[in-house]
Structure 1
Amino acid sequence: MNTKEDKIITNVTNILYKWFPKKTFIETAKINNYPILPKEKKLIINAVSKRKKEFSTGRWLSRRGLKYLGFPETEILTGYLRNPIWPDKINGSISHDNKLCAVVIMKKIPSLTNIGIDIIYFPKYSNRLKDLESMFVIDKDEIDIMNEFSLNFDSLAILFSIKESIIKAMSSEINSFIDMKDIKIFYENKKIKFIIKNKKPNVDIFAGVSYNYLITTAKIYN
């Protein structure tokens, strides 16, 4: 019998599949201890148990994705901004929160330059986001724009998660620290867009909900 957690895992994966091409590898799993490669182990040698589980789940899922796409097994190391360093011909993103980890991996295509996904477990944030608002909200317009998603979900949480997805999508291109208030969300021509450090990328932004989990994605185009 499927548990509630199994249903959430399936739902999160299915939501992400709606936003990516058919041949994309997308998988969600319960966070646990999974086998990782020696160079990856060195990256978390001093980490707490929770972080080791999150890291190993993301790398394990990522290698499943690389195999699915026909790539050899390889270490997925960490960049300057703690972002995964993918093989040259791969676009990918990892996100985890509470008990779940999700990975999206696809072969690079000329039109799609970068992707970022984010998952947040809302009960963990429900009493904190209002206090943190000044750290990631530029103005009230950003919050109001979140209503465009027509989700029965907290607008601050959606905005926070979208900015996380954007940071993941843009980190390899900007290669310097990105503060959430470096990102200005705006609405133009019936589409949600953003500006970051004087860049105005062509972007698709998505948001969906499965139980208490919020899932967002940013896809950056040429």
Structure 2
Amino acid sequence: MIEDERLAAIRARIDGAARLAGRAADTVTLVAVSKTRTPEEIAPLLAAGQRVFGENRVQEAEGKWPALRAGHPDIALHLVGQLQSNKAADAVALFDAIHSVDRSSLVTALARAMEGGRRPDCFVQVNIGEEAQKGGCPIGALPALLAEARAAALPVRGLMAVPPLGVDAAPYFALLAKLARDHGLAGLSMGMSDDLETAVMLGATHVRVGTALFGARA
């Protein structure tokens, strides 16, 4: 099955990069980014043993994951796309991790939603390339946002970033790793299909892979 081969190839890439970095491969979580993919496209990866998936939109995830989870209760679902504050309660109810905490209003909304008992892990998204078109907290505003998130008792586990396209990602990954160390955070959500080795060698704990697992979109 081609999905078995793709999954094995990605895991081999992660293992190889971890070995070069002197890390254990099981310190890196592979998040299979299933945005826009149908349940029929996701099912072969589930059959191949993948259990951690990432979605970009709350509404899309609500439409397909409850049924998929019914047969696989060990699935972990991560929100890797931007989150509107008015969807915070829905996200907390559905996801096990939220990678896109990037502003005060969202911190407030998530803290309120978590009063119900569910407490998904949170990653603060940093606009590491200072790109106007991308989401994420500005680098200079990170200390204040982290302080606010911690004061609100959010379970902040790490930082997330998407480096600029078309340039060497390594300096951006290294900067994110330094920011995480400076703020006492162990989690680093960084690296995708094309640059996951670099991310793993620079400390990624979560890599977000879509196309290399699912193939090109129709």
- Fold shared per TM-score above 0.5: no
- Bigger share in helix: 2
- Bigger share in strand: 1
Q: TM-score, normalised by structure 1?
A: 0.30
